[in-house]
A and B are shown apart, each in its own frame.
Chain A
Amino acid sequence: MSARDDWWYDEAAGPLVRPYAMVRGRTRPNAPDLHLVTQVRAAAFASDQTSLTVEHREIMALCARPLSVAEVAAYLDVPLVVVKVLLSDLIERGDVLVQTSSPKIPDRDLLQAVLDGVRGI
């Protein structure tokens, strides 16, 4: 926790300075619905990445395989609200693909697959 506390509760500057700076206070006006488990992954052909920030590039590298929004936030060690802004940038550029649908209650076939899967671990 201590490394994180360092920047997250920066006594002198106040909380939120770093994540706020990272996204420069931007909103996500046209952003897709991103939930905790929404799956994201990098597109096969990413556009020119020279204009991207270090954090954006880190996300691109992480998402070489499909991951949830929550996993990206955890691996990047930034709050969810920040990772959602960064992901939205990449989605808008077409560099990250996302399946936008709100979480649905699984149907019987899906539950059966999960049941078999859990039994098998």
Chain B
Amino acid sequence: MVFVASELTVPTAVKIVIAGGFGTGKTTMVASVSEIPPLRTEELLTEAGVHVDDLAGIEGKDTTTVALDFGRITINTKVVLYLFGTPGQNRFWFMWDELATGAIGAVVLVDTRRLDSSFPSIDFFEHRGIPFIVAVNCFDGSQNYTVDEVRHALDLDEAIPVVLCDARNRESSKAVLVGLIQHSMNRLAAV
């Protein structure tokens, strides 16, 4: 059998971060668009929230684990997209940095009943200049606000798209991802 070199190349991996406060529907959104049931993996961090990247002498250290949910969309044979839900606990900023590095951008999910729970996510992406859009997850009948009201309440820049969605719905979640990718493309064109 003859193997050509190209058969052994690996695809380019890209990622999108699905962020937002506790219980805003992050895992639900990952599940609704992923081609595989969401996977879960654990990262080991010190209590200070820094990566443990060395297992030597680890027994003596105070460590903790942080769980990551993620899904996958195979774009074509050369490109694969991963969707990472952020860990609920905000203290693991170090993990957020790894998730955000090189990402296409982020979807910040918002539950209008608890808007403030998504403030830290918005701050994070704003400060790091990472493209993001805000998706208002419409939990049954709880959507009592317009997009403009949400934009105002979150004190969002005009340039940040705000969309309504149902994280359980595949087409709705797809539309959110499309909105984010377009926003990232616009940002790229603007610089």
Query: Taking CB as reference atom, which chain A residue is nearest B189?
Result: A108
Chain A contact patch, size range: 35 or more
Q: Which of B58-66, B115-123, B136-144 contacts A (4 or more CB under 8 A)?
A: B58-66
Query: Taking CB as reference atom, which chain B residue is nearest A80?
Result: B43
Contact of B79 among A81, A98, A108, A117 (CB under 8 A): A117
Contact of A81 among B53, B99, B178 (CB under 8 A): B53
Cβ contacts under 8 Å, A37 to chain B: 13-15, 82
Question: How distant is the Cα of A36 from the Cα of B72 in the complex, in angstroms?
Answer: 12
Question: How distant is the Cα of A118 from the Cα of B173 in the complex, in angstroms?
Answer: 10
Asked if A27 and B104 sit within 8 Å, CB to CB, the answer is no
Contact of A115 among B3, B44, B181 (CB under 8 A): B181
A92 to chain B, nearest CB (A): 16
Question: How distant is the Cα of A71 from the Cα of B80 in the complex, in angstroms?
Answer: 12
Contacts between chains A and B (CB distance < 8 A), count: 157
Known: A27-B56, A35-B98. A68 touches B82 (CB 8 A): yes
Asked if B73 and A117 sit within 8 Å, CB to CB, the answer is yes
Residue B7 interfacial (CB < 8 Å): yes
Asked if A44 and B7 sit within 8 Å, CB to CB, the answer is yes
Asked if B39 and A71 sit within 8 Å, CB to CB, the answer is yes
Asked if B56 and A103 sit within 8 Å, CB to CB, the answer is no
Give the interface SS of chain B, mostly helix, strand, loop or mixed: mixed
Query: Taking CB as reference atom, which chain A residue is nearest B79?
Result: A113
Chain A, 105-121, CB within 8 A of any chain B CB: 105-108, 110-119, 121
Chain B, 94-115, CB within 8 A of any chain A CB: 98-99, 101-104
Query: Taking CB as reference atom, which chain B residue is nearest A34?
Result: B53
Residue A85 interfacial (CB < 8 Å): yes
Cβ contacts under 8 Å, A32 to chain B: none
Give residues in A with beta carbon < 8 Å to B: 8, 14-16, 19-20, 23, 25-28, 35-41, 43-44, 66, 68, 70-71, 73-75, 79-82, 84-85, 97-99, 102-108, 110-119, 121
Give residues in B with beta carbon < 8 Å to A: 3, 7-15, 33, 35, 39-44, 51-59, 63, 65, 68, 70, 72-76, 78-82, 84, 98-99, 101-104, 174, 177-178, 181-182, 184-185, 188-189
